[in-house]
Structure 1
Amino acid sequence: MPIGRLRDLIGASLAALPSGPIAVAYSGGLDSSVLLHGLAGLPAARERGLRAIHIDHGLQDTSREWASVCIQVCSALDVPLTVLSVDVELSSGLGLEAAARRARFSAMQSALAEGEIVAFAHHRDDQAETVLLKLLRGAGPEGLSAMRKLRRFGHGHAWRPLLGAARTTLRTYADQAGLVWISDPSNANPLIDRNYLRLEVLPRVRKRWPEADASITQSAEWIRAAADFIDEQSALALARVQGLDPATLRYRQWLELPDALRDPVLRRWLRAIDLPEPNRYQVSELVRQLAEAAEHKLPCIRWPGAEIRRYRDLVHALRPMQLPEAQWRRPWDGVTLPLPAGLGALRLVDNYGRDITALAEQPFAVRFRRGGETLRLSSNGYTRELRDLFQEAGIPPWERGRIPIVVDADEQLLAIADLWTSDAGRKRFAQHACRLVWEHALTPA
């Protein structure tokens, strides 16, 4: 493909972009050098405010020299360059390639202006490699559909105008244009999965099936259409099965969803409430337990950073909970009392909502549920079991041991946080002209 034809390909993709300046993700390698050179030769790209961003990972001894080469190339092209240094978290457990990509994307997103479009030089060969990698890792439709030409990215968009071009086409362009680029020695390391596919697997595949890259890309485009349809349907399905509390789902309706929707709905729900997603095994176990556990059971599935629990007709998604020590108990004089396990604080306030001064002789104590508690809510009412009050209020069992209880010196229950106050508690608080307030994570600001 001559220089003009590849530049026409970039120009046609550029014309379809939303408005906004363009920043090239410029590593200094062959692919990004071709993209930068192609865009620099288009007046329409320069009119948008073309610039380049180079990320220095610091993983190679020569990384500073690479940055110097990028500066020289951008100066010759009269394209402004921003060089960003990042620290790659090698202990993240993601592996070197994934950790470097996360650091690179995070820095890139932070550097973008509102509405700016970052241009990546991924091409058709990259697309084929990505699809095969995702397939080998057991990805679903979203993963197998590989890279989009345009998608949201930070404050703007990620744009990949070269997805229709082969790596050999980019090399021909670079040779014809006399480009200078950097060769990263890590690209020759077959221990890296992507490199192994590129160096060992795909050459054999292409020898047997010369059109393999085009065929894989075509399949990825069809899967993309299916993934987009599933995404749209999962949004509609989630609206049907989500509870009034955003962190809940009506589990029977969720189980009744088609297999193609059940997993995407679960993941969309968890992303919306900012919880990590489970792996496929954990999803399967969740389905099994919800389908098989008896109604009086309380199944719970956990994975790092999240857990899902069932109560009545709903499943609740939450972060792993802390529980106070069973024998925790503190004398209390009414001033703000911090509670253990991140459960907020208790305070007594006057009729104007102001904190009271400390009461003499610490007339109260605070503890948590131990089982068998009872209280009388009114002078002429029956003694009620706390367990029954919790059930009537629909408070999930796992929350009941996290609600503070106020008692007197004789262990008579005066208040269950600020949810219920016993007849004795109302009289005691009235003596001091105060009321109880429980400040916790769900307290309105």
Structure 2
Amino acid sequence: MCCALSGGVDSIVLLDLLAGLQSRFGHALCAAHVNHGLNPAASAWQAHCTALCSHRGIPFIAFTVDVARDDHEGLESAARKARHAVLETVECDWLVFGHHRDDQAETVLFRLFRGTGLRGASAMVAVEPGAEGRAGRLRPMLGFGRADIRDWAHAHALTWVEDDSNTDCRFARNDIRHRILPAIETAYPSASASIARAAAHFREASDLLDELAASDEHACGGRMLRRDGVLALSDARVANLLRWQARRCGMPAPSRARLLEALRQLRAAPAVRPLYFPLGDLACCAYRGEVWLESVGGGLPAPCHWGGTAAVEKPWGDGRVVFSAAKGRGIARAALDQAAKLSLVTRSAGLRMRLAPERPSRTFKNLCQEAGIPAWMRDRLPVLEVDGSVAWIGGIGIDAAFACPPGDEGFVPEWVPVSS
């Protein structure tokens, strides 16, 4: 368990609580401090945290980060991104933060002012389980207000540092904290508690939408969605599904306007027409009856080489190539078993292939045109080489020289563009 220790009163109280509970729960505790280098007193704050942890015998880690000054979301956001990125590197089961009820209310208001959806308005949760090697996150003080935390600190004679930048109302969150929220609480004294309670309601609604998205994805065939299944859903459900898929890719949710325009084009275009519509960091793609999201501007897939005999599957960019055993179909198994080297590569200059013995050899461009493969997909097509000779091109087919004879053992390669 690692306490995110800034040196401010919230994190100092959190560390005191976690240390006091060690004998009861037996958790191993450490603390991590991030020095952003944005305040002249930053080194003094780090020294205070170092001394405190040394005095209490708590293992301590300090990080220094470079904060981008040109982040389009502002300095606050850039510092937050840098801080969380480096805290993710701490080896622990749980990262513990000192966020409290007033932080929750400020976060909800900040996001609402920016036009967030339900997921954003739900703000922070007390328990956020980890996944795929990522530590979970705990916020045990979300139910307490700022005044409660300061009362504890005074009662236990704790010492902390004060960040003078927290009073600078040029920063949006500080403006909410010192001007907007107090004005609201003048008229509605329990506003912070009510807003935090509303965040919990937003979270429940958001979780229900996630369940609906998972159900819709399954009904539409998985991550590679069937186009007819997608078009049978309402616009709101398609937008919800694609936002959910974007979050699962670790990408920010696309804007509502871009999603609706992508869907408009998808509904208006003939089923045979491919679609590539950028949504930001992701693009909505449609081709041959399927719809999916893929990264925008990524590099070409890395070549993959291995010894003879087809594997069950091999990675290819954001997706994979799957080899399925078949009788009398696909690539002749004998050709693969006898090969010294099998390779998945991108197209090379002058690539040609013959799809049938009676047909002429065709250029890569001609093959793509005949197969109806749009230009934006061509550089990403997987090409299987057997000892340097082209045996198969994803989305196009198998070279006649490697085709499996009737009755023989073969392997059918399939390109799945997006991992699922």
TM-score, with length taken from structure 1: 0.69
Supply the distance in 2 between the matched residues of 1:354 and 1:205 (Cα, whole angstroms). Answer: 73
Provide the residue aligned with 1:191 in structure 2: 170
Partner of 1:285: 261
> Structure 2: which 5+ residue stretches go unaligned?
301-334, 342-347, 384-389, 403-414
2:293: which partner in 1? 317
Aligned in 2, Cα 1:303/1:260: closer, same or farther, shift over 3 Å?
closer
User: Equivalent residue of 1:48, what SS?
Assistant: coil
Contact 2:101/2:192 (CA < 8 Å) preserved in 1?
A: yes
2:14, 2:381 → 1: CA distance?
60
Task: Say if 1:284 and 1:134 are closer, same or farther in 2 by CA, change over 3 A.
Answer: same
Is it true that 1:122 corresponds to 2:105 in the alignment? no
Aligned to 1:102: 81
2:241 counterpart residue number: 265
Q: Tell me which residue corresponds to 1:6.
A: none
Alpha-carbon distance between aligned partners in 1 of 2:355 and 2:26, rounded to the nearest angstrom: 76
Shift of 1:107: 1.5
1:420 Cα offset (Å)? 4.8
Match of 2:119, as an amino acid?
E
Name the structure 1 match of 2:283. 307
- Please name the residue that 1:209 is paired with: 188
Say if 1:230 and 1:260, in contact at 8 Å, map to a contact too: no
* Matching residue's letter, 1:217: A
Stretch deviating more after TM superposition (142-151 or 75-84):
75-84
In 2, distance between residues paired with 1:273 and 1:41? 39
Assess if the C-alpha contact under 8 Å between 2:368 and 2:378 holds in 1: yes
Instruction: Give the Cα–Cα distance (whole angstroms) in 1 for the partners of residues 141 and 355 of structure 2.
Output: 74
Q: Which residue of the other structure, out of 87, 105, 121, is the alignment partner of 1:144?
A: 121
Report 1 or 2 for greater relative contact order, CA contacts < 8 Å, sequence distance ≥ 6. Answer: 2
Conserved? CA contact 1:323–1:402, under 8 Å: no
1:223 CA drift (Å): 1.4
Cα distance change on mapping 1:351 and 1:298 into 2, 3 Å: closer
TM-score, normalised with respect to structure 2: 0.72
Q: Is the 8 A contact 1:28 1:70 kept in 2?
A: yes
* Cα 1:45/1:66, change in 2 over 3 Å: farther
Q: Residue 350 of structure 2 aligns with which residue? A: 367
Q: Is the 8 A contact 1:323 1:401 kept in 2?
A: no
Structure 1 residue 67 displacement after superposition: 0.9
Distance 1:393 1:225, change over 3 A: same
Distance 2:20 2:39 in 1: 31
Instruction: Please state how far the C-alpha of 1:30 moved relative to its aligned partner.
Output: 1.1
The whole-number CA distance in structure 2 between the counterparts of 1:82 and 1:366 is: 52
Alignment partners' CA distance in 2, 1:202 and 1:273: 35
Give the aligned CA root-mean-square deviation in angstroms: 3.9
Indicate the structure (1 or 2) with the bigger Cα radius of gyration. 1
Q: Is the 8 A contact 2:50 2:60 kept in 1?
A: yes
Cα distance in structure 1, aligned partners of 2:128 and 2:258 = 29
Q: Could you give the per-residue CA deviations for residues 286-325 of structure 1, whole angstroms, max 9, x where no partner exists? A: 121112234454343114443223234222433447999x
- Identify which of 339, 347, 365 aligns with 1:353: 339
Distance 1:367 1:305, change over 3 A: farther
For residue 218 of structure 1, give the secondary structure of its aligned residue in structure 2: helix
C-alpha distance in structure 1 between counterparts of 2:16 and 2:128, whole Å: 23
Whether 1:252 aligns to 2:238 is no
Check conservation: 1:250, 1:313, Cα contact below 8 A: yes
Deviation of 1:441 (Å): 11
Separation (CA, whole Å) in 2 of partners of 1:323 and 1:50: 41
Structure 1: 5+ residue runs without aligned partners? 1-21, 325-348, 356-364, 406-413, 428-439
Equivalent position of 2:215 in the other structure? 236
Asked if the contact 1:145–1:224 (Cα under 8 Å) also holds between the matched residues in 2, the reply is yes
Matched residue of 1:40: which SS? helix
Contact 2:22–2:28 under 8 Å retained in 1? no
Task: Identify if the C-alpha distance between structure 1 residues 276 and 40 changes in structure 2 by more than 3 Å, giving closer, same or farther.
Answer: closer
